[in-house]
Amino acid sequence: MTEKNKNQIDRRLYQLQEQRKQICALPAGDALDRILSASQPMPLVHSSFPEQDLYLLVHDIGVSDALPILKLASNRQWEYFFDVEVWDRDRIDLNAVTKWTELFLTADPCRMSRWASYDKVIFFEYYLFKNIRVVMREHDQDPSEIGDDYFTFDGVFYIRILDNPVPPPVVEGEAGPAPEADDETRRRVVTQLLKRLAEEDSVRFHQILLEAMHVISAEIEEAQYRERNIRMAEKGFLPFDEAIGIYQPLEVKDIHDPSSHQEYRPLVDTRQPVAQFALRLGDDRDPVIRALDLFDTDAHRMQAEVELAGLTNRLIIADHKLIRDRADLKWAVQKACGYINIGLAGLAAETGSPKPDPKKAAALMVRYSLPSLFRIGFGYALRVKWQADRWFRDCWFQEQGLALTFWGETWMGVLGGLLIKKPLFYDQAQVDGHYREFTDMHDIDATKEALTRIIAMDRFLSRLTIDFRFPADAFLTYKNLLLTLWARESMNHAPEVEPMDLSAFRAFFTGHLFSSRPPDSPDAPASIRLSAKQSFMSWLVGRSDLSENEIIRRIGPALDDLFAEIESELGRVRPEHIDPRFISLFLLK
C-alpha cells in the first residue's frame, strides 16, 4: 500500500468517526434517519461504530425498529449482540437465543443462515441440540412409521421440535407473554432457521443436523463461554474475577513506588474508534470530562478515552450490571469519574497542592492511568468503611441491642451507606433514593466527619451512669434518649427511660427550655434559654466521668446541632399546640 492510499484511508476513517460522533449526540429516531440517509451507510456502521455504541443505539431506537441497522451491522457486531444478550452469567439463555435469531433472520435471512452455518456453527448446533430431535429415514422405510410430529425438507432427515426446554421467566407483577404463544414463537423460529439452512446449502445442512445430534452440551457450553470471555475481554469486559480487581484499593504512596505498583499502558491506535456513548454521558462540569479536552496531543486524549471506556466496562462487569440504555451506562460513567476525581484530589493533597484544576488533572491523567486513579479514589471511601466496620463490631449501641434507627435519620443513613459491601454516600438532597456514589473529596470528608461524630457519641453514651432499660414500644434515638432523661430530672421525675406526661412536658417547655416570646413579636420563634444549655451540660457532667471541657471537645458539635434542631422543630410551636404524635426529640405520652 502506498503512502498516498494509506493517507486516504486514514482520512476516510476520520470522516466516518466524526459522523459517528455527531450521530451519537442525536436522539434515537434522528440517529436512525441520519444513518439510513448517509451516502454509504454500511461503511458508516461497519467501520466507525464500536460494538458497544451500536448496541446501545439499537436499544435506544428499539430492537424492532432498528432492524435496518442490524442489517447494516457486520458479523463481528452481530457476535457482540449475542455475547451480551444470550448469556446469563455462565449459562446460555435459550430464550434469548431464540429472540435474537428471529431478529437477525428478519433483518438479513441470507446472511443469518451463512453465519449460523459457518461462523457460529458450533453455537447453533448446541441450540439445535436443545430444541430438536432428528431421525434419518432408511431407504426402504415408510415415512408413516416415523411419527406425525416429525417434518422433513428432503425426505431423508426427519425433524421433531421438542417442547420448550427452558420456559420463559415469570417476573412478579408483569403478565408477560402466554407460555403457549412463546412456545409457538420458538417453534416458528427454529423451523424458519432450519428451512433457511436447507435452502442455503443442503450438504452443509445435513452435516449440521448430524453434528447437532452428537453434541456434548456441557463441553460445548464451557468452550463457548471461554471464547465469549476472550472476545469480551478484548473490548474491556474482563471476566468477573478479573474485573473485580478494580476495587482493590491503592494509596498515593503505592502509585509512587514502582516496586509495589506496576502497570502496563499499551499504545492506542488512534485510527480505531473509541466508544463515544460513555464519554458523552459524563457531566460536562466534571473535572475528568473537562480534562479530556485539554490534553496536549491526540494520542494522550485517545489514551484517556480508551482507559475511561475500559474502566466503565470493568465496573459494569464487577457490579453485575446489564447495560441496555444510556441511563444504565451513565451510572457507570459517573461512578468512574467520581472516584477518579477523588483520586486526583488525593494526589494533589498529598503534595500540599490545592484541588487540581482541569489542566492539572489532565497532566496527572497523562502520568497515571485512570484505573489507578480510580483505585486511589475508591481507597479513600473504603478506608472510611473499614473504620465504620471496626467500630461497629464492638460498639456500645450494638451491645444494647439497638437498631440503626437509634442514630436518627441522617446518621443512620451515613452508617447504612458504610456498612454495605461497597460504600455509598448518603445524600439527603437526592430525590430518587438517598444513596449515590461518592463523587468528590467533599463527600469523603463529610462522611468521615459524620462517622467521627457517631463514634464519639457512642463512646460518650457508654460512659453515662444511666439505667438503660428501654420501653419496647418506644421509637428510641440518641436524641430523645438524652433529652428525655434530662427533662425528667429537670422536673424531678425518676431518672429512667420512660415517656413524659404531656402536662409535665409543657411545664418543662415553658419553664426550662424556651424563653418567652417578646410581646411585640408574638409570632416570632422562641429561642432556647442559655440556662437550659447550661443545665443540660451540668446534667451530662453529673452523669459521666468527664469534665465540661472534655465533653465539649468530644461531642460539642453534635450538641450544638441538637439544640439547633430543637429550635428549628419546636421554636414556633406554642405549648398548648404540642401533640406527642409529632414530637420526635422527646419521648411523650
Please classify residue 382 by burial: count the beta carbons closer than 10 Å to its beta carbon, then call 0-12 exposed, 13-18 middle and 19+ buried.
middle
Residue 383 lies in a domain: no
- Compute the distance between CA of residue 548 and CA of residue 538 in angstroms, rounded to an integer: 8
Q: Reply yes or no on whether the pLDDT at 507 is more than 80.
A: yes
Give domain status of residue 390, yes or no: no
pLDDT at 353 over 80: no
pLDDT tens string 432-457: 788 999 999 999 999 999 999 999 99
**Domain boundary, last residue among 15, 40, 62:** 62
Residue 252 corresponds to which cell in the numbers above?
498515593
In a domain, 44, yes or no: yes
Q: Tens of pLDDT along 258-305?
A: 655 556 555 544 445 556 556 666 677 788 888 888 887 878 888 888
The reported pLDDT for the residue numbered 14 is 74
In this structure, is residue 442 part of a structural domain?
Answer: no
At 311-336, the pLDDT tens digits run: 998 999 999 888 887 788 888 899 99
pLDDT of residue 114: 96
> What is the average pLDDT score of the chain?
87
Percent of the chain exceeding pLDDT 70 equals 89
Query: Mind spelling out the 3-state secondary structure of 239-257?
Result: CHHHHHHHHCCCCHHHHHC
The predicted-structure confidence for 235-255, as pLDDT tens digits, reads as follows 878 888 889 999 999 998 888
Residue 511 lies in a domain: yes
Model confidence at 177: pLDDT above 70: no
Domain range for 523: 478-582
Examine the pLDDT at 206 and tell me if it is beyond 90.
Answer: yes
Q: Looking at per-residue confidence, does 100 or 166 come out higher?
A: 100
- Per-residue model confidence (pLDDT) at position 259: 57
Distance between first and last Cα of the chain: 90
pLDDT of amino acid 515? 85
> What does the alpha-carbon distance between residue 516 and residue 545 come to, in Å, rounded to a whole number?
34
Question: Which pLDDT value is given to residue 277?
Answer: 58
Question: Alpha-carbon distance 492 to 51, whole Å?
Answer: 75
* Mean pLDDT computed over 65-77: 96
Measured in residues, the chain has a length of 589
Which whole number is the average pLDDT over 372-380? 96
Weakest mean pLDDT among 264-278, 373-387, 559-573: 264-278
CA 182 to chain centre: 31
Are 404 and 417 spatial neighbours (Cβ–Cβ below 8 Å)? no
**pLDDT bracket for residue 172 (50, 70, 90):** very low
> Which triple of cell numbers denotes residue 316?
459494569
* Residue 575 domain-assigned (yes or no): yes
Of all residues in the chain, the percent with pLDDT exceeding 90 is: 55
Choose one of 32, 62, 92: the last residue of a domain: 62
Whether the CB-CB separation of 320 and 246 falls below 8 Å is answered with no
Residue 487 lies in a domain: yes
DSSP 270: T
Domain total of the chain: 2
Q: Which of 62, 86, 106 is the C-terminal boundary of a domain? A: 62
Q: Is the residue at 558 inside a domain?
A: yes
